[in-house]
Amino acid sequence: MKRQRIYVDTSVIGGCFDHEFAPWSNGLFREFHEGHFIPVISHIVAAEIAPAPSALQEKYKELLGLDTEILEGSVEASALGSKYQEHRIVPESYSADALHIALATVAEVDLLVSWNFKHIVRFDKIRLFNAVNREAGTKRSRSTHPVR
């Protein structure tokens, strides 16, 4: 059986150190270590981790030491992220959030995991992201889900 590719945004890495999210984030990291899933991150995650405290940077390095796929920006992902903003799903001031979703969508990951309940993990927004994805003609619509 093909291992699922799971895109994790920066909030999942930070969640490893948050009392509320640590059981779920660390559980997902264990699943990555055991080879059950393929972790997928992007250059956006790298940029967001750069100024973070050293503990988060170490957790990020741990992720890089696995069979992690790193997504780079693309014209298609940038255009899709812009469409999310044009449709007012994500405010322009949060373009990185739109780009996380666009990169994962264009790369056809199986699941995007996030603790960002404001701009990413909300049923109303997920439906809108999927509508824009269909309108843009992406191969498959993507869902975003918390790990719980």
pLDDT in tens, 126-144: 888 888 888 888 765 444 4
pLDDT of residue 97: 85
- 141 burial (CB, 10 Å; 0-12 / 13-18 / 19+) is middle
pLDDT of residue 148: 39
Q: Which CATH class is domain 4-145?
A: alpha beta
pLDDT of residue 139: 60
pLDDT of residue 98: 87
pLDDT of residue 121: 78
Counting as low any pLDDT under 70, the low residues of the chain are 139-148
Q: How far apart are the C-alpha atoms of 4 and 97, rounded to whole Å?
A: 22
